[in-house]
Copies of this chain bind each other. A is one copy, B any other.
Amino acid sequence: MEEKLHLLRQHFEEIVSLTDDEWNIVKSHFEFKSLKKHQFLIQVGQPVAFEYWIIKGLVKAYSIDEKGKEHILQFAMEDYWVSDHCAFQHQEPGTIFVDCLEDSEFFCLSLENREKICFEVPAVANFFRIKSNHGYINLQQRILSLLTMTAESRYEYLLNKLPKLIQRVPKKLIASYLGVSRETLSRFSS
């Protein structure tokens, strides 16, 4: 476990510096969790007690529409954060599903604990501020890609941006992430 916590510390220290004392405060506010492939991290209607940092593994966050079709909001793997941020932030029942595409391990942070360490250790507030800002920028780019690009060029773009991901994830899920039917994706060239 010490090794895993060390990875988390590295993750923080990519953005901000922490003293050993600060780190000891921070790390004591996380819980460990491990799930097998196909198990759920978050479900619609259930409480969303945590934000999760992924130690290892791969998950998908998605919603299901009236017709039962799955729409993927995010893939998240090692070193990513994932949650139903909306439900988590407002402490409301989940609005999306998150489940494991591979056996996965997480460090879990409750809202209470997050606010606690953000106010006790200012560097942590800055860490999450900067992380959240990066996330915002990413989502803006995804929105632009949905507005400006054809399904095929979104696919090419993703192939370039996250080639490793494509290999770990069935194409029908990639299709669902891109907002295109799996049949159409299958007709694309590369």
Contact = CB atoms under 8 A, between A and B. Distances in A.
Interface of A: 63, 65, 69, 71-73, 85-86, 89, 118-119, 122, 125-126, 128-129, 132-137, 139-144, 146-148, 179
A129 B118 contact: yes
Which of A118, A136, A143 has the most CB atoms of chain B within a 10 A radius of its CB? A136
B136 A132 contact: yes
A144 B85 CA distance: 14
A35 to B, nearest CB: 22
Contacts of A135: 132, 136
User: A interface, by DSSP: helix, strand, loop or mixed?
Assistant: helix
A140 to B, nearest CB: 6
A65 B148 contact: yes
Given A71-B147, A71-B148, A179-B146, A129 B140 contact: no
Nearest to A176: B147
**Copies of the polypeptide in the assembly:** 2
Contacts of A148: 63, 65, 69, 71
A157 to B, nearest CB: 14
Contacts of A65: 148
A90 to B, nearest CB: 9
Contacts of A134: 89
A27 to B, nearest CB: 19
A85 B129 contact: no
25 contacts: A65-B148, A69-B148, A71-B148, A72-B147, A73-B140, A73-B143, A85-B137, A85-B140, A86-B137, A119-B122, A119-B126, A122-B125, A125-B125, A125-B126, A128-B129, A128-B133, A135-B136, A136-B136, A136-B139, A139-B140, A139-B143, A142-B143, A143-B146, A146-B146, A146-B147
